C-alpha cells in the first residue's frame, strides 16, 4: 500500500437526508380508514370474479385484476395465523416498547390476513390458532393504528 494511504486520517461525513412526505391515501383506502375512524368499522372488498375478499381492501383483485366495487363489513374477529415476540428496541420505528407481539390475523369473512399487534396476553402464552378480536382506540386518526391491537376472545 502506498505510504500516503497509511497516514490519512479517514473521515466520516454524517449526513441526514431531509425529504418530507405526505402520501395520498387514495380512494380505496380512504374509504376504509374513514369507516374505521368515524364508525369504528372494519370493511373489506370482494372480487366479482373469484369471490376473494380482501382486508385491507384493494384497488384490483390480485388474482383477476378486476375492479373491486363490492364492499362488506367484517365482524373484526379472526384467527392467529402466525406471530412473533419482538425483543429488540427500535424506538424510531416501533410504536410500543419491546417485548411486544406482532401477529398476522386471518380475519373472519375475508381471505387475507391482517398484520397487527396482539396484546392483553403474556407473549409466552400466544398460540397459533388462537381466536382474537380487534380493539379500537377511543380517539382515532384514520390509519392502521386506529386499531390498538387484537386481544384473545373471551
Partner 1 sequence: MEKVAIIGVGQTKYERNKPETFAELVFEATSKALEDAGISKDDVDNVVSVSSDFWDGRTISSMAISDASNAYGKDITTVEGDGTFGALYGMMRILSGSFGVTLVCAHHKGTESNIKGITNCAFDPLVERKLGIDAISSAALQARRYMNRYGVSEEQLALVSVKNHGNAMRNPLALLPMDITVADVMGSRKVADPLKLLDCSPVTDGACTLVLAAERPAKKLCTNKKRVWLRGVGHCSDAYRLGDRDLSDTRALKDAARRAYAMAGINDPRADVDLAEVYDAFSYMELMWLEGLGFCGDGEAGEQMERGIFNFDGELPVNPSGGRLSAHPVQVAGLQAMAECVLQLRGEAGDRQLNTPETALVHGINGMCGQSHCVWILGK
Partner 2 sequence: MGNRVGIIGVGQTHHAAKRLDASGVELISEAVTRALDDAQLTISDIDAIVIGNMDHFENINYVDMWAIDGLGACMKPVFKVTTGGTTGSTVGACGYYHAASGLFDVVLAVGWEKNSESDTQAAIATCANPTLERDPFAGAIGPLATEYSMYMKAFGATEEDSAIVAARDRNNALNNPYAHSRQAVTVEDVLNSPMLSYPIKFLDMCPRSDGSCAVIFASEEKAKKLCPKPAWVHTSVVRHDYTHFGDLEWKFMPTLERASAAAYKLAGISDPLNEFDVAELYLPCSTCGVKWMDSLWFCEHGGAPGLIRKGTFNMDGQLPINPSGGVISTNPIGATALIRIGEAAWQIMGKAGGRQIEGVKKALCTGFGGCSWTDLMILGADLP
Residues near partner 1, by CB under 8 A: 10, 15, 17, 21, 23, 25-26, 29, 54, 56, 62, 81-88, 90, 92-95, 102-106, 112-117, 123, 128, 143-145
Are 101 and 86 in contact, with CB atoms under 8 Å apart?
yes
At 56 the three-state DSSP class reads coil
C-alpha–C-alpha distance, residues 110 and 51, integer Å: 10
| CA–CA separation, 42 and 74 (whole Å) | 6
Residue 26: its H or E element = helix 26-39
Q: Which of residues 122-151 bind partner 2 (CB under 8 A)?
A: none
121 binds, among partner 2, partner 1, none (CB under 5 to 8 A by kind): none
Nearer to partner 2, 65 or 153 (CB): 65
Q: Does residue 115 touch partner 2 according to CB under 8 A?
A: no
Residue (59 or 98) nearer to partner 2, CB: 59
Distance CA 68, CA 31 (A): 13
How far apart are alpha carbons 58 and 67 in whole angstroms? 9
Of residues 25-54, those binding partner 2 (CB under 8 A): 25-29
Question: Footprint of partner 2 on this chain (CB under 8 A)?
Answer: 13, 15, 17-29, 58-60, 62-65
Amino acid at each position: 500500500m502506498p505510504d500516503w494511504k497509511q497516514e490519512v486520517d479517514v473521515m466520516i461525513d454524517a449526513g441526514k437526508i431531509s425529504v418530507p412526505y405526505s402520501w395520498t391515501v387514495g380512494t380505496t383506502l380512504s374509504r376504509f380508514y374513514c369507516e374505521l375512524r368515524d364508525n369504528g368499522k372494519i370493511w373489506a372488498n370482494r372480487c366479482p370474479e373469484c369471490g376473494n375478499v380482501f382486508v385491507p381492501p384493494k384497488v384490483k383483485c390480485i388474482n383477476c385484476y378486476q375492479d373491486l366495487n363490492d364492499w362488506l363489513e367484517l365482524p373484526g374477529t379472526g384467527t392467529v395465523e402466525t406471530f412473533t415476540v419482538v425483543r429488540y428496541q427500535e424506538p424510531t420505528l416501533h410504536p410500543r416498547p419491546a417485548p411486544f407481539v406482532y401477529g398476522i390475523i386471518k380475519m373472519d369473512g375475508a381471505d387475507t390476513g391482517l398484520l397487527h399487534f396482539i396484546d392483553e396476553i403474556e407473549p409466552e402464552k400466544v398460540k397459533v390458532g388462537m381466536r382474537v378480536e380487534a380493539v379500537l382506540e377511543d380517539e382515532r386518526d384514520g390509519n392502521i393504528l386506529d386499531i390498538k391491537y387484537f386481544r384473545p376472545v373471551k
